[in-house]
Amino acid sequence: MEKINVYEKPTCTTCRKTVKLLQEKGYEFDRINYYIKPFTKNKLKTLLKKMDMKPSELLRKNEKAYKELDMKNNSYSEPQLLDKMVANHDLVQRPIVELGNKAVLARPVEKIEELFKQTG
């Protein structure tokens, strides 16, 4: 089996549930705290492509940073949103679970199952 990567914020409840589920199922995986090892623009673009998502679909809209940047009232392009997400990690939904050429936003946690069905 290919390596599983979990991009997380360890204090996030959904991230902790994701890690617990993977451990219970006996999967080996790497945990990447993207606050310590930040996303590069290229890495976030790659993950978005693997999830078949646009930056606007991965945006955390309930975050303080979203409100502070008045993102609701600004018409940012997808590339501009990507830049803002790379610059401010709080804007990125989590956790993201990556396996080979596929990835899922594990919200809810059960979405991980889709990843294993996709990869066979």
**CATH number where 100 lies:** 3.40.30.10
The Cα diameter of the chain in Å comes to 45
The total domain count for the chain is 1
Q: What is the pLDDT of residues 18-61, one digit of tens each?
A: 999 999 999 999 999 999 999 999 999 999 999 999 999 999 99
**For all residues of the chain together, what is the average pLDDT?**
92
Mean pLDDT of 64-90: 90
Domain range for 9: 4-119
Both tokens assigned to 66: 């979203």
pTM for the predicted model, two decimal places? 0.92
Burial 58-88 (b: 16+ CB within 10 A, else e): bbbeebeebeebebeeeeeeeeebbebbbee
Is 12 considered catalytic here?
yes
Given this model, what pLDDT does residue 74 score? 82
Find where tokens 């599983």 sit: 4
Of these residues, 1, 2, 10, 12, which one is catalytic? Answer: 12
**Residue 1: pLDDT band with limits 50, 70, 90:** low
